[in-house]
Each structure stands twice: as structure tokens, then as C-alpha cells.
Amino acid sequence: MKKHYQILIIGGGTGGIMTAAQLLKKNKKLEIGLIEPADTHYYQPAWTLVGAGTYDYKKTARPMASVMPKSVDWIKDYATKLRPEENKVGTEKSGDISYDYLVVATGLVNDTSLIEGLSEAIDKGVVCSNYTDPEHTWEVLQNFKGGNAVFTQPATPIKCGGAPQKIAYLAADYFRKKGILKDTNVIFATPGTVIFGVQKIKETLLKVIDRYGIHFRPFYAPFKIDAEKQIIYFKYTALEDKRRPIAEGNKIKEEMNDKNVISIPFDMLHLAPPETAPKFIQESALVNKEGWLDVDHGSMQHVKYTNVFGLGDVAALPTAKTGAAIRKQAPIVVDNIMKLLKNQEANNKSYNGYSSCPLITGYGKMVLAEFDYQNNFTPDPKLKQMLIFDSSKEHWRLWILKKYMLPYLYWNKMMKGKKV
């Protein structure tokens, strides 16, 4: 195995594979090493559908070898230490590997220890998460007979920030079809201040919430779960608002103490676990004070080490962490590395924060939230041309896009470095 590469990539997820494939499209003679320990590559955007019983989990998985570009050296190992001042990455079994250019695309990791009781509770009984075991979510939905169905998310950044509310809408629709929605309190509790930051999308989602009778609770930051008693505890974060958030006729039996702690009993609980950058990234010289890879927001070049780039979920970019964001980031990273290889300046700073969140609002219905750093609604021109309608409103064609077209484009175009 080589100990030095022209370009070294950490991570065999969407960002790492796309970047490697696109670099080789530019120059097939590039010496690229890719560090990735996993045998399987997952198409995680479909896990929401798996959790609602409308997609086969097995179809979200493919062998890592099948997506790894042929002329890339696959280093099947764990990266353990970053030493950017020496242009080296330490690994678990393969020793130090040096590079001319480094691309960090590790994604993020679940850290269940950040919510008390979550490590013991997750994926057992009536506590579920599409982020960890979507098949268990589907079992919980099928076994649910009524009562409080609580959906929530942590105060940390998470991948696909819309996913915790997508499953709430699908669950409400599933309960409606089963005839038990009238016996159910669907609760969506979030540390956020609004249901969605893009105004046009927010307007649509408030109608969806109203349609299902969902109890929407902003400023609710979960910090503790008592799985045995089936109670979840939140810190109420809108401290400047002196009004108590608990209304009269308290159907969902929530309680608030004098320390701004709210408790809600649950008969099922779905949540996204807290997520962070991997430990070896957090402990490196490459992160900002929040522990994310400190890159320029337009070029994805590291702010201090000019031969280091980062993209995807690990990057400190103030936009949603999605595969759609990576689709726009990867070509800019590739362009900048190709410029540096020709002794030119890495001056492509064109990333505007584009991200996209396919918000499923029920079986056969979806809204497509596309936005930039300023939360402007920014429909992709190609998609807009293809769809010929306002994608900020619910439509069955968007469901077809989510369930059939996007997985096809992912495996057959994005993973092969082709333009999408």
C-alpha cells in the first residue's frame, strides 16, 4: 500500500465518492487514496420512507466496492488523527499516510450520550429513530394503538434537518388511514423557533400541521428520556417569552416546572439523535470553536490550511446538511483542487449555500424546499423546468421524484461523477 497520495480523501459517503469520481473525470491519472472502513454504502435519504413502510431497507444498501471509483486506492481503515502541519493522516492499522491535497468528507456521527437516557432507550420498545434503525420505526408505527406520538430533534446540527418532521407527517397520515388519528396526539417538538426557515415552505407546512391536528411545540430542546416511565423532558428555551407554553385543556398532559423544564408522556417516541463531527476531527487543528471543519463558505477550502478542503455534513457551512448540498459543493471542491494542481489560485467561491429538503407531507405528497444561505427559496432551474409547477406546494409528482427518480440519479449519476 502506498504511503503518499496526490489527493487523499477521508470518507466513502456521498461527499467522498462524488469528489473522487468527479476528480477522475477531470484527469484519470490522478493518484487518489480514499480512507473508508465500511463495507456498505447507504442511500440514507430513503430511510424516512423505510420508517413509514413504503421503501425496502435492503434497496438502500449497496456494497462499498460497487460505488468506489475503479482507479481509486480504497484504504479500508479508520482515520484516527489529522496532522495538517505535516500533511499527514494517521490511521488505525495502516500507519501515517501523507498527501499533497486532503479532502475531508467524513460526515457526522450520532452521540446518544448528549441526551440522558437515550443510549439505553433508542431502538427499543416504543422509542425509535429513522436515523439509526428505520425498520424499527415501522414496527413501532404498526404497533401503535393511540395516545401521545412524540416526534422531536436535538439542539445539535443534524443531517437532513427536515427528517424528524417528515416522519411526523407520514405517521399522522398512517394513523389517519388506520382510523386512529382521532385517538392520537401527534406532537412535533423542536428546539427551533419556526417549523421551517423558508417563508413559502413554512406557509405550506403550517397548513399540513393544521390538516393533521399536529401539536407544534417550538423552543423545546430535549435533554432527558425516561424510557421506563415513557416520559421525555425538554428545556423550554424561549426564556424572553414570559407566557407559559402549556395551553388550557392540556390534551397531551404536558407539565412545566419552575426551572423551565417541560415533561411530556409518550406512547411512542421518534427522535433524531444528537450529532457531532467524529472525535478525531473535533480533536484536530482543522475545526472551529463549535467542532466543525472550518472551511470558507464559498470555496470549501480550509481557512488556514490551503491544501485542505471539506464538504458535506462535517463542514462548518451555515446551511442544511443534505446530499443535495453536496451535489452543489463537490464540483466546486474539484474545480479548486484542479486549479491548485495547475499552480493557479483556488478562486472558485461560487457555493451560495444551496441545499434542498424533500419534505414528505403524507403518502403520495411532497414539498421540495430548496434554499440558500439567506433562506431564499431557490428552485433548481433544471428541476423547475422538469416539474412545471410550484414546488413549494404539495404535489404527487414530487413524491415520484423522491421515491423513484432521486435514488436512480444518486446511484447512476452522482456516484459515478456525472453531472446532475
Task: Measure the CA–CA gap between 232 and 252, rounded to whole angstroms.
Answer: 12
Please count the residues of the chain: 420
Task: Measure the CA–CA gap between 8 and 98, rounded to whole angstroms.
Answer: 8
Task: Measure the CA–CA gap between 331 and 321, rounded to whole angstroms.
Answer: 17
Cell of 278: 467524529
Cell of 25: 473525470
Cell of 252: 397531551
Task: Measure the CA–CA gap between 399 and 235, rounded to whole angstroms.
Answer: 35
Q: How many CB atoms lie within 10 A of CB 1?
A: 9
Residue given cell 390534551 in the structure block = 251
Residue spans of alpha helices (H) in 245-380? 279-282, 323-341
CB 103 within 8 A of CB 16: yes
Number of H helices, E strands in the chain: 12, 22
Task: Measure the CA–CA gap between 221 and 228, rounded to whole angstroms.
Answer: 20
Task: Measure the CA–CA gap between 365 and 193, rounded to whole angstroms.
Answer: 25
The alpha carbon of 393 is separated from its chain's Cα centroid by a whole number of angstroms, namely 22
Residue given cell 407566557 in the structure block = 243
Q: Does the active-site annotation cover 128?
A: no
Measuring CA to CA, which residue among 161, 221, 212 is closest to residue 186? 212
Q: What angle do CA 146, 270, 244 make, to 5 degrees?
A: 80
Q: Determine the 3-state secondary structure of 98 from DSSP.
A: strand
Q: Determine the 3-state secondary structure of 376 from DSSP.
A: coil
HSE-CB of 121 using CA atoms within 13 angstroms? 27
Q: Which of 160, 269, 324, 359 is catalytic?
A: 160
Task: Measure the CA–CA gap between 244 and 256, rounded to whole angstroms.
Answer: 8
Q: What angle do CA 398, 401, 404 make, to 5 degrees?
A: 140
Q: Which of 357, 369, 398, 406 is catalytic?
A: 357
Task: Measure the CA–CA gap between 122 and 145, rounded to whole angstroms.
Answer: 20
- What residues are labeled active site? 160, 357
